[in-house]
Amino acid sequence: MRIVYVLTSLGMGGAERVVLALARSMAQRGHAVALLVLRPPVAEQWPTDLPIVHMGMRKNPFNALMGLANGRRFLREFRPDLIHSHSFHANVVARLLKGLAPPRVVSTVHNVYEGGWLRMLTYRLTDGLASSTVAVSQAAADRFVRLKAVPERKCVVLTNGIDTAEFIPKPERRAHMRSEMGAADKFIWLTAGRIVPAKDYPNLLRAFARVLDACSQAQLWIAGEASTVEFSSLRGLAEELGLGDSVRWLGLRRDLPALLDAADGFVLGSAWEGMPLALGEAMAMEKPVVATDVGGVSELVGDAGIIVHAKNPDALANAMTEQMQGTPEDRLAFGRAARARIEDNFNMDAKADEWEALYRRTLKRHE
């Protein structure tokens, strides 16, 4: 097969990481693969050896039209059998690029929330240009069908895959990273993800302030990039809560496996999600996890972690404290159960098999 993956950007986000891993898997299986990216290159983006074409689209009509022309030109040259697009902007652009003729388009939604009614209407009006829409969790599928953005007969659930060979605990790496970070004997909670409203970092900071009342030896590491305004607002809240040096702002990091090794637990305080990749990677690293019950979190965690209501810092703090007050053996058992769940249900190789089968069904259906 000849497959083009369409993304909005290659920025350092979870969805982008998932797509690149899937594209790499398909290339390793002998398929011809290329990446079509809506936006120009950014300073910090995921590295890849796959062919990339940037459409150069920006937020003005002229650039949008020029970008569409660039995309059409590339598709004529590459002649893909199938286009697989990801998230709202890329999904809509892929459908417009395809038009009424082949190649076939598979759209993927990575979150339960991809915008308001106008975006949902856009999905509905352009649905005829896509062969199917894939949701990364049942929760996301249910919401998009309920909003009539996607017809139920064309909606498929296929969850994210985790590279369990990359995300595997290594005691030596843990010792090195804890020494480098000056963790000493502190209990380290790690969270990772862009500092955006979906992640609800204010909820997490308020919860962590309560955790510190119970255990002054706790520390929260936050790995994720943010705009100046967002970062300033969160720093202000942390100071207001008296968190001081107990919160470490790590910014954008490329060494997540090492940070996970150094951590004692992983926490997610999100307000909404699709299927959070960092949470699955933490589980693969045998970390006890605490997370809010949003999107596909419960589908991912099952009974291998603690799940609490969103926007409830007391519940989140209680769950974190419960993990900290348990024995090391209890946390180890939680962590091993978490990795076993990822290996059994979310292994990247198995997910690549599922995607490949979906691609073949899509093409066969239109022969």
Nearest Cα neighbor of 201 from 271, 124, 282, 289 is 271
pLDDT digits (tens, 9 = 90+) for 211-233: 999 899 999 999 998 877 888 89
Looking from the CA of 179 toward its CB, the CA atoms found within 13 Å total 6
Contact yes or no for 270/310 (Cβ under 8 A): yes
* Mean pLDDT rounded to a whole number for the chain: 94
192-209 pLDDT tens trace = 999 999 999 999 999 999
- HSE value, Cβ hemisphere, 13 Å, CA-based, for 119: 14
Fold equal for 2-160+347-365 and 171-345: yes
Q: How far apart are CA 141 and CA 291, in angstroms?
A: 21
Dist CA 222 CA 241 (whole Å): 16
Hey, what are 232's tokens?
């300033």
Q: Which of the four CATH numbers 3.40.50.300, 3.40.50.2000, 1.10.1740.10, 3.30.70.1400 does domain 171-345 have?
A: 3.40.50.2000
Question: CA torsion angle for 46, 50, 55, 59 (degrees, to 10)?
Answer: -20
Phi and psi based region of residue 244 (left: phi greater than 0; alpha: psi -120 to 50; beta: remaining): left
What are 126-183's pLDDT values in tens digits?
Answer: 999 999 999 999 999 999 999 999 999 999 999 999 999 999 999 999 999 999 999 9
Share of the chain above pLDDT 70, in %: 99
- pTM of the full structure: 0.93
Cis amide leading into 276 (omega within 30): no
What b/e sequence results for 288-305 when a residue is b if at least 16 CB atoms lie within 10 Å of its CB, and e otherwise? bbbbbbbbbbbbbbeebb
CATH no. of 2-160+347-365: 3.40.50.2000
Distance CA 225, CA 341 (A): 29
Domain ranges of the chain: 2-160+347-365, 171-345
Mean pLDDT of 55-61: 87
From CA 136, how far away is CA 127, in angstroms rounded? 18
Q: Which of 280, 257, 262, 264 is nearest to 338 (CA)?
A: 280
The whole-angstrom separation of Cα 197 and Cα 247 is: 19
